[in-house]
Amino acid sequence: MISRERALYQAVDRLEHALGEQDEALLNDAFGQLRDAFENAQPKDSAEVGPRLAGALSRTPMGAEAILAVMIGACVENGADPAACSGPVLAGVRDALRNVAGFPALWEEAVGGDLPERDHLALGEVLGRVAEATGGLDEAKFAAVSAWMQLPLWEMAAVAMLSREAIRRAVQADGTLVALAEEIALGDADLKCLRYLLKMFDDEPLVVLHRPTGTGYRLRVTRVGDNFQLHTLIAHVLIAGGHIPGDPPSAEAVAVCRDAAFEPAPHTTGVFNLSGVDGGWIWNEGCPADIPVVDGERVLVLDPPAYERSWRAGRFYPGITGDVTLEATLDRTESEAYLAQAAPPRTWPDGD
């Protein structure tokens, strides 16, 4: 009987052989073996096979690349070196984003109607529809359809890599993937996991003004994934810290927003309405990068909540710990100067 460890290595061996031979049947068999073997992979196994799979990614046929990229991401999450795995995966993500840009126009011209739901299991069906409507598939059409249908897989693989701070900072410094993801997104929710992670602050100063008390604070935001998490942590720092009145979030809600496990995820209630200096609402569904920069500083205004709202506390990226800390309290003169520049909050439904 083959050990679980040996089964994984044999599957990788078979994948590399199939790619060398360009044997489609053998490749399909290797992918099946890999899926089964990954269910019981140990960290030491993932550490060994992750870089091997990353090295095979550029030779993998387009319709299977994203599946392999997810497996590489699973290796990184299970102990493989992200520096040894991320390059080919993120290159694939960039190519997919470039290729997907042409899909909406291709679909409109060839088929029309609503864009197909992204589902890698339906790739063959959509390829067939486009081929039938256009008289065949060239490489560009295949690439566009494949990228569209498999984009959630590419996003999943990218998040696994970008959850590592060193990888994320290098990608942010380059800027290419950040711009591509924003350009390609169709609506606020599209590619949300990828876009928010690409915009995550690892160490960002933030000026926070509490309009009802006329007070101001300098905070520091570290690895906060979305504004639900930000809202909860700011409420803890300022209310539980005795700086402003109100009901602070529970200790459990704060803990899961920092680093604690989510089971069970506690409810918490919003205590502010978040606004920019221009009066535009900063939605909880957004991320801290939505807070506008004014004269070189991000400035957030806290107003009374426009309506009661509660949510399950936690981290948008459960594997990434985060925090908000207080660095200084502004004196009255400085707080008043900031608040003098702040427009009143826009009223619902004119928020943004």
> 273-275 and 310-312 as β-strands: parallel, antiparallel, unpaired?
unpaired
pLDDT of residue 2: 52
Same domain, 79 and 218: no
CA–CA gap between residue 71 and residue 76 (Å, rounded): 9
pLDDT of residue 348: 65
Domain that holds residue 100: 41-198
pTM, full prediction: 0.92
pLDDT of residue 1: 39
Do 258 and 222 touch, CB atoms closer than 8 A? no
Same domain, 95 and 169: yes
Kind and range of the H or E element at 12? helix 4-21
The total of structural domains in the chain comes to 2
Same domain, 171 and 308: no
pLDDT of residue 23: 86
Which residue positions in the chain have pLDDT lower than 70?
1-5, 348-352
Condensed to tens digits (0 to 9), the pLDDT of residues 126-147 reads 999 999 999 999 999 999 999 9
- Residue 346 domain-assigned? no
Measured CA angle at 255 (ends 250, 260), to 5 deg: 145
pLDDT of residue 351: 42
Distance of CA 81 to the CA centre of its chain: 20
If one counts every other C-beta atom within 10 angstroms of the C-beta of residue 80, the result is: 28
- Taking the alpha carbons of 93, 76, 252, 209 in that order, is the dihedral positive or negative? negative
Task: Classify 33 as helix, strand or coil.
Answer: helix
Same domain, 78 and 184: yes
- Residue 11 domain-assigned? no
CA–CA gap between residue 211 and residue 115 (Å, rounded): 45
Pair of tokens at residue 89? 């995966």
